[in-house]
Structure 1
Amino acid sequence: MTVTVPGIAARLADRPEAVALVESRGGTSRTTRRGELVRRCHHLAEALRDAGVRPGHKAVVMTRDAHDLTAVSYALGILGAVPVLIEPRAEVGRCLRDVAPDVFIGEPLAHLGRRALGWGRPHIGISLVTGPAPLPPGRRLPTRTPVGGAPPARLPEPDGDGPALIAFTSGSTGRPKGAEYHHSTLAGQLDALTALIGPRPDDVLLAGFLPVALLGPLLGLTTVAPAVNHLAPARTPPGELVAPMLRHRATVVLASPAVLTLIARHCARHGVTLPSVRQILSFGAPLRLRLVDALRRAVPDDAEILSVYGATECLPVSAIGDHELRAS
């Protein structure tokens, strides 16, 4: 039986003027609308194809830039290639040996690490640099979509149920391993998150974990990606989290307890409340009642606080509200 799931461009086709992604860093924001993101993805897909990337190629994407991570991963999906996401805290060299990627796409720092440490040396045949920095030398992906002129060709997206994504676990509970998602797996995950969140037209999602920025626009949500320190989330300056929540009136927060603790402490220390928040989804570690109490003091009384259980291979599996958590 052939399984057909909606492609990336199809999921982004509605409301082209709506905001898809906001990257917030140091008090400044970079905003990308849904129609612009679709054009960017097709433009990048053409550039990737011209560089030799083909359907079925496994392509590691390593960048802290939420816009580049999202656009490049979507573009790879449009081509039928398979994005590979590796936790920055994982054993990157071992992960690359396990997955044997054909392509390495990343910011300059990732390439410097790859060259210095020999990551993926026997397997990687195509190396592409993201971002505007002049180093290291190498073939660069375009940093901007051309304005005017002929629009990029709409490449046909895969319509079966082949591999769509490989995401590595962090290694916090054992050796990192790559979880392979098929297109139907991702579609099911999006359906489960839609049922859990119940997206509203005016919702704004704060993505406290960088890969969540990939899912937000596909859920139809304006997604804010704050400047989280992904090597050590608990060391993130809390103002980098709370300021964009207030500026963009975040309604849904998806983050780990470590990130939520920073938010709650900042609010308590500075007497800040978060009146726009209607839902907090905590995942990645147990949600402690002390943190729930601190969050409750910052959000409206009717806001929903959920402890979400799942794993890299499947998220979400279950969710429990803080009132039920307290009674259990």
Structure 2
Amino acid sequence: MTTPTSAPVIEAGVIEAGAAAASRNDTCNIAAALPACAAQSPERVAMRCPGTRRSDGLASYDVELTYGELDRRSDAIAAGLAKRGIVRGTRTAVMVRPSPEFFLLMFALFKAGAVPVLIDPGIDKRALRQCLDEAEPEAFIGIPLAHIARVVLGWAKSARIRITTGRRAFLADDTLARVERDGAGAPSQLADTRPDEVAAIVFTSGSTGVPKGVVFRHRHFVAQIEMMGEAFGIAPGGVDLPTFPPFALFDPALGLTSVIPDMDPTRPAQADPVKLIDAIHRFGVDQLFGSPALMAVLAKHGQALPGVKRVTSAGAPVPPETVAALRELLPRDAQFWTPYGATECLPVAVIEGRELQSTRAATEQGAGTCVGRAVERNQVRIIRIDDAAIERWSDDLALPNGVVGEITVAGPTATDSYFRRDAATHLAKIREVRGELDRIVHRMGDLGYLDGEGRLWFCGRKTHRVETASGPLYTEQVEPVFNTHPKVRRTALVGTGAAGAQTPLLWVELHEPRTARTECERIAEELRAIGAQHAHTAGIERIRFHPGFPVDIRHNAKIGREKLAAQAARG
């Protein structure tokens, strides 16, 4: 094990100078802090990538970019792209794996003021084509395999500029390497982007429906950096292991070194903990970000993480047993944050692991999952449940504390539209006008309530509620009750029949999927007995077992209840 080498620390003032631009009439751009960081500490490592393999099979991490290189080379790429017509406002599909090329390219596009179009590569190929058809990118930059798919599957026919990361311009107009060479030695390419200019189109994972392109403006990204830094106490100079690649883009803007993990980012549940821990120990990683599925991998592995001071997990509620197990592996003063939010607005609220553990008993009694308090500058309000669009905000919409409704948020990171999805935008956005205030309120599509302490409790997705004749049932108030059974890994509530008269059905995934039928029957009776102890779960009689729930492709944590509901309806 090598000892991490010391490096100059980037001062917080440099980071704040770039982030505060959104509140002044300066350039507003996620890449704005990079030149200053590079000037102050050009030799500091901005990111390390796995690279080649050692004799023991572990990654060598022999590929790295310093802040100076990231700034200089992204300027060169931006200049080379401009010569080919990729300039301010050019929608550019990016299909590049987590690598130096990905980060250089993204910062080049941000500097140029071009508009990256990002789509989860793991989604259904038909959905991926639909996303590209909707976005109508004018340029397409991808790995060779992406270009083959583009030609064979008819992706992005609108793209008039095609660039490959491969060595040869096969099925493309040019290579990224030649683009960079053509722009070598270029001065700063940072465009004078304004807060309201479109910065990127980021598609949702589609885990709760058809993927939608979220329109991010430069002010949204800059606010995310500010708010995450403040909420989690992130200081420049740390070393981060971001297991969800897009979050690694924030690290240079926060003055951090990114260690890109040796794993498939679309399959965090299958990550090799040995590889992750090797990187953590070798480079002195003091903070990491990952989905609940990845946290479960580390918790199950059980190896101590003595140098890690901050863990952040998002994408779905983190099971309480995972929080408890992982906190045992961390130093006593380490923080375990579970931010609540969505692609359309992040972060919304945050809670630290100690407080989350203190609410476990309430969650297991059916209270829902506590996701903490609203991040400063956000306003979280609960409105009555309504599946229709709401054009204008009215205070009559708001519900009192303790009443379950739809969660809404207004704040600096709340995006205002979906790209070319007017119907979806109308359903998800409410315009609020009072005096000089004119802003967008985002409807999260999640259900929850605020308690007397101002904490937000998550009760499940609005589309996942089960409307029975005796009243609604919410997934996050039902499933944790049954998840207390020692042989149950997780459960999923669905409904069959017409809304208002649905019959609840509980799908069950056991820790041991090959459990005998007679044993399953006994577990089902025990689950009914557990449900009978609570008024809201007493009527759940139908129980079925499943070998392995479908999950989302981005975090491997959100249960595919739509698929389970369809399976239940088929009988």
With the length of structure 2 as denominator, give the TM-score of the two structures: 0.53
Is 1:61 aligned to 2:61, yes or no?
no
C-alpha displacement of 1:35: 1.0
Equivalent residues of 1:203, 1:251 under 8 A apart: yes
In structure 1, list runs of 5 or more residues that go unmatched: none
Equivalent residues of 2:263, 2:271 under 8 A apart: yes
Summarize the Cα distance change of 1:197–1:22 in structure 2 as closer, same or farther, 3 Å threshold. farther
Aligned with 1:28 (options 60, 65, 75): 60
Secondary structure class of the residue paired with 1:43: helix
C-alpha displacement of 1:47: 1.3
1:216-255 aligned within 5 A: 216-255=251-290
Is 1:101 aligned to 2:127, yes or no?
no
Secondary structure class of the residue paired with 2:298: helix
Aligned with 1:11 (options 14, 18, 33): 33
Q: Which amino acid aligns with 1:59?
A: T
Equivalent residues of 2:50, 2:60 under 8 A apart: yes
**Paired residue for 2:187?**
153
Deviations 1:248-277 (A, max 9, x none): 1111111101111222223x2xxx311110
Summarize the Cα distance change of 1:71–1:201 in structure 2 as closer, same or farther, 3 Å threshold. same
Which gives a bigger RCO, structure 1 or 2 (Cα 8 Å, sep 6+)? Answer: 1
C-alpha distance in structure 2 between counterparts of 1:278 and 1:10, whole Å? 28
Is 1:308 aligned to 2:339, yes or no?
yes
Q: Which amino acid aligns with 1:193?
A: M
Structure having the higher Rg: 2
Q: Which moved further from structure 2: 129-138 or 180-189? A: 129-138
C-alpha displacement of 1:151: 2.5
C-alpha distance in structure 2 between counterparts of 1:246 and 1:36, whole Å? 25
Equivalent residues of 2:240, 2:256 under 8 A apart: yes
1:163-174 aligned within 5 A: 163-174=198-209
With the length of structure 1 as denominator, give the TM-score of the two structures: 0.91
C-alpha distance in structure 1 between counterparts of 2:250 and 2:328, whole Å? 29
Equivalent residues of 1:189, 1:315 under 8 A apart: yes
Q: Which amino acid aligns with 1:28?
A: S
In structure 2, list runs of 5 or more residues that go unmatched: 1-22, 52-57, 360-571
**Paired residue for 1:190?**
225
**Paired residue for 2:297?**
262
C-alpha distance in structure 1 between counterparts of 2:330 and 2:178, whole Å? 38
C-alpha distance in structure 2 between counterparts of 1:134 and 1:78, whole Å? 25
**Paired residue for 1:39?**
72
Deviations 1:60-119 (A, max 9, x none): 111113322211111111111101111112321111011111111011111111111111
Q: Which moved further from structure 2: 153-162 or 59-68? A: 153-162
Equivalent residues of 2:169, 2:175 under 8 A apart: no
Equivalent residues of 2:50, 2:262 under 8 A apart: yes
**Paired residue for 1:320?**
351
C-alpha distance in structure 1 between counterparts of 2:139 and 2:220, whole Å? 23
C-alpha distance in structure 2 between counterparts of 1:156 and 1:231, whole Å? 31
**Paired residue for 2:152?**
116
C-alpha distance in structure 2 between counterparts of 1:82 and 1:305, whole Å? 34
Equivalent residues of 1:17, 1:34 under 8 A apart: yes
Secondary structure class of the residue paired with 2:50: strand
Secondary structure class of the residue paired with 1:10: coil
* Count, aligned residues: 321
C-alpha distance in structure 1 between counterparts of 2:356 and 2:129, whole Å? 39
Aligned with 1:215 (options 240, 244, 250): 250
Deviations 1:132-166 (A, max 9, x none): 477555410117966xx972222241331201111
C-alpha distance in structure 2 between counterparts of 1:38 and 1:144, whole Å? 16
Summarize the Cα distance change of 1:177–1:150 in structure 2 as closer, same or farther, 3 Å threshold. closer
Secondary structure class of the residue paired with 2:140: strand
Deviations 1:39-70 (A, max 9, x none): 01101001111222121110011111332221
Summarize the Cα distance change of 1:245–1:7 in structure 2 as closer, same or farther, 3 Å threshold. same
Q: Which amino acid aligns with 1:306?
A: W
**Paired residue for 1:276?**
307
C-alpha displacement of 1:229: 1.2
Equivalent residues of 1:42, 1:152 under 8 A apart: yes
C-alpha distance in structure 1 between counterparts of 2:232 and 2:170, whole Å? 41
Is 1:128 aligned to 2:163, yes or no?
yes
Is 1:293 aligned to 2:315, yes or no?
no
C-alpha distance in structure 1 between counterparts of 2:106 and 2:256, whole Å? 18
Equivalent residues of 1:5, 1:187 under 8 A apart: no
Equivalent residues of 1:209, 1:228 under 8 A apart: no
C-alpha distance in structure 2 between counterparts of 1:64 and 1:243, whole Å? 21
Equivalent residues of 2:30, 2:218 under 8 A apart: no
Q: Which amino acid aligns with 1:182?
A: R
C-alpha displacement of 1:221: 0.7
C-alpha distance in structure 2 between counterparts of 1:57 and 1:150, whole Å? 21
C-alpha distance in structure 2 between counterparts of 1:51 and 1:10, whole Å? 23
Q: Which amino acid aligns with 2:313?
A: S
C-alpha displacement of 1:228: 2.6
